[in-house]
């Protein structure tokens, strides 16, 4: 069963991220699945802005994780695209981030292989012409 939703443009993607922030008031693990340029970081930017973040949202491509403290909780934005081996997650102390009180948003979770627990929400994004389709799982 699939229930893909059309997200027309960047503005709509930011709004989608914002709505997720409201639906996800506590901690948890959200994984973002989709190709380069799918809009994963854009969605995260919408979520962070909804929670009060006003600055840039840089993709943590080289640092792997960018921490935020917003609306009274820790939020960790991961981009694992450049992760060499899943074992590196041990060295970076992944378990300290995956606390029940923290919200973790992970781009390229496939790179983590068995090092991430089951996600509370998986977000699949795919290109549909110039727009995008999103599936929540």
Could you tell which of ligand ADP, Mg ion, none binds residue 131, using a CB distance below 5 to 8 A set by kind?
A: ligand ADP
With beta carbons less than 8 A apart as the criterion, state whether 108 and 83 touch: yes
Q: How far is the CB of 69 from ligand ADP (least distance, A)?
A: 22
Handedness of CA 65, 68, 71, 72 (dihedral sign): positive
Q: Which of 91, 106, 134, 115 is nearest to 28 (CA)?
A: 106
Could you tell me how many residues of this chain bind ligand ADP (CB under 6 A)? 17
Q: How far is the CB of 137 from ligand ADP (least distance, A)?
A: 17
Q: How far is the CB of 97 from ligand ADP (least distance, A)?
A: 19
- Neighbouring CB atoms inside 10 A of 116's CB total 20
Positions that interact with ligand ADP (CB under 6 A)? 7, 9-10, 12-13, 34, 36-42, 107, 130-132
């Amino acid at each position: 069963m699939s229930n893909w939703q059309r997200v027309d443009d960047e503005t709509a993607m930011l709004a989608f991220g914002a709505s997720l922030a409201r639906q996800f008031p506590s901690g948890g693990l959200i994984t973002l699945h989709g190709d380069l340029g799918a809009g994963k970081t854009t969605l995260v930017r919408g979520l962070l802005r909804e929670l009060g973040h006003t600055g840039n949202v840089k993709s943590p491509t080289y640092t792997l994780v960018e921490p935020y403290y917003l609306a009274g909780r820790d939020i960790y934005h991961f981009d694992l695209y450049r992760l060499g081996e899943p074992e590196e997650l041990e060295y970076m102390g992944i378990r300290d981030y995956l606390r029940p009180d923290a919200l973790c948003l992970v781009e390229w979770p496939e790179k983590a292989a068995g090092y991430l627990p089951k996600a509370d929400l998986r977000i699949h994004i795919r290109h549909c012409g110039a727009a995008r389709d999103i599936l929540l799982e």
